[in-house]
Amino acid sequence: MGDKIIGIFLLFAFACTSQPETGTVTEKDGIITIKVDLDSVKDGKLTDYFEPEIEYLLLKEDENPDSQIGEIEKLIEYKDKIFVFDWWIGKSVHIFDRQGNFIRRIRNRGDGLGKYIEVADLQVEQDTIYLLAHPGKIIKFDLEGSFINEIKIPVIGRTFHYDINSDLFFIYSGSRAENLVTVLNHAGKVIRSYFSSYPDVFYGNMMDPVNFYQDNNGFYFTRTYADTLYRFTSDGFKPEIIYDFAKNGMNHEKMKEKQKEMDDDAFRKYFQENSGNSYSPFGFSNSKYILSRIIAGEKSAVSIFDKQNKTHDLVNFNLINDIDKSFNFYPPVYQLEGNEVAIAHRGVSLYNKAVEKKQTMSDEDWKAYQEGKGKSFVEAAFYGKETENYVLMILKTKK
């Protein structure tokens, strides 16, 4: 019964609480409510949230074809190594050092021990690389990429989280599963399940890039359209942060009805125009911020919750780059170590940005820019033009 009640929270949590003013953060009984209104989005500058410095790091492509990255799905830094998860093209994990030099690639496609058909997610903890893979396994490698062992799991895995405090795996099985989250031990045994699928909740077909947000004292679970972040505690998952959209929030019951009545194309159009505001877990969580997205159909804004000061900003999708003024870009989505976060651009894309920048300036101003505040950007852009690999733009969140 407890799991069903939590499932109901996904739709109805604290709907009857009083409505604070837009942007206000309130807290009662340890539960934070954030009033959100997409009509109140403002411009945001990088220096509002990050230290005034950008590090450009090229993930270098060398003569080894394994160094070529397809598409970055997830990026993790651990002990001065960078692990890049490419699930779409390469179906692999690339390992680079902190200077951007390629070390090796993990790509064990096939049948049998230590092999996989598809890879769903990546985590690196306690000097171990964990791959959530299909069919039905978690594969362990050491930090050099050598196979250790594998765990057979009895559920489909979309994303996962290994909690070092409980020494358990939390598997998110997607919106069509009977239970959204299943907890397993290192033998692959089911310990318990959470978040029973609730018939009146609209789950949609969106693949969540992030379901589990790391936090200093544990982790959160959330998903698109849920509007609530749940912290895992000794008593299970408890609601901790609620995004309150009031009358602009998604009407789950209506979405479910329309989805049944319409064909896929008609419903897609209806959803884009009538979905209302909802939460999308795409971003990062560190000691300072939870950064994610708020969506309404095809519109999107960036939600930045300051954990320390208990304040919330809703800003336009592209942050104004007032650090080196190279170009404005959407906020970083990859959590590195400490207070560092990153966003990735193809080298060629970065080069094109430099060309666009140059075309807006006189020769004299361009020379002063590339020798001054734009030096790192221009060097990275011109070096990156020869590669299809990525350049990381690394920022440090304010303390």
Q: Which one-letter amino acid corresponds to residue 297?
A: G
From 48, 55, 83, 49, select the one nearest 69 (Cα to Cα): 83
Instruction: Find tokens 């970065």 and name the residue.
Output: 350
Interatomic CA distance for residues 164 and 295, integer angstroms: 32
- In percent, the amount of the chain with pLDDT more than 70 equals 93
What is the predicted pLDDT for the residue at 176?
Answer: 84
**Upper half-sphere CA count for residue 265 (Cβ side, 13 Å):** 0
What is the predicted pLDDT for the residue at 209?
Answer: 79
Does the structure show a pLDDT above 70 at 393?
yes
Q: State which fold the 2-45+71-332 domain adopts.
A: Lipocalin (2.40.128)
Instruction: Find tokens 């095809």 and name the residue.
Output: 298
Rg (CA), the chain: 22
Q: Output the CA angle 150-156-158, nearest 5 degrees.
A: 95
Q: Provide the pLDDT confidence category of residue 10 given band limits of 50, 70 and 90.
A: very low
Does the structure show a pLDDT above 60 at 13?
no
User: Which residues lie closer than 8 Å to 163 by C-beta, 6 or more apart?
Assistant: 169, 170, 218, 219, 232
**Upper half-sphere CA count for residue 285 (Cβ side, 13 Å):** 20
DSSP state of 206: P
16-21's contacts with Cβ under 8 Å and 24+ in sequence apart are 17/244, 19/244, 19/246, 20/244
Section 40-52 average pLDDT: 96
Interatomic CA distance for residues 79 and 104, integer angstroms: 16
DSSP state of 397: B
What is the predicted pLDDT for the residue at 175?
Answer: 84
Does the structure show a pLDDT above 90 at 362?
yes
Section 127-148 average pLDDT: 97
Contact between 194 and 237 under an 8 Å Cβ cutoff? The reply is: yes
Instruction: Average the pLDDT over each of 40-54, 205-219, 265-279 and give the range with the smallest value.
Output: 205-219
Contact between 237 and 231 under an 8 Å Cβ cutoff? The reply is: yes
Give the start-to-end residue ranges of the domains of the chain: 2-45+71-332
Q: Provide the pLDDT confidence category of residue 399 given band limits of 50, 70 and 90.
A: confident
pLDDT tens by residue, 267-303: 999 998 999 999 999 999 999 999 999 998 878 899 9
Does the structure show a pLDDT above 90 at 204?
no
Q: Which one-letter amino acid corresponds to residue 199?
A: P
Q: Output the CA angle 239-334-320, nearest 5 degrees.
A: 100
Interatomic CA distance for residues 282 and 291, integer angstroms: 8
Interatomic CA distance for residues 95 and 98, integer angstroms: 10
pLDDT tens by residue, 50-61: 999 999 999 999
What is the predicted pLDDT for the residue at 17?
Answer: 42
Section 66-89 average pLDDT: 95
Interatomic CA distance for residues 376 and 326, integer angstroms: 10
What is the predicted pLDDT for the residue at 4?
Answer: 43
Section 326-335 average pLDDT: 94
pTM for this model (two decimals): 0.91
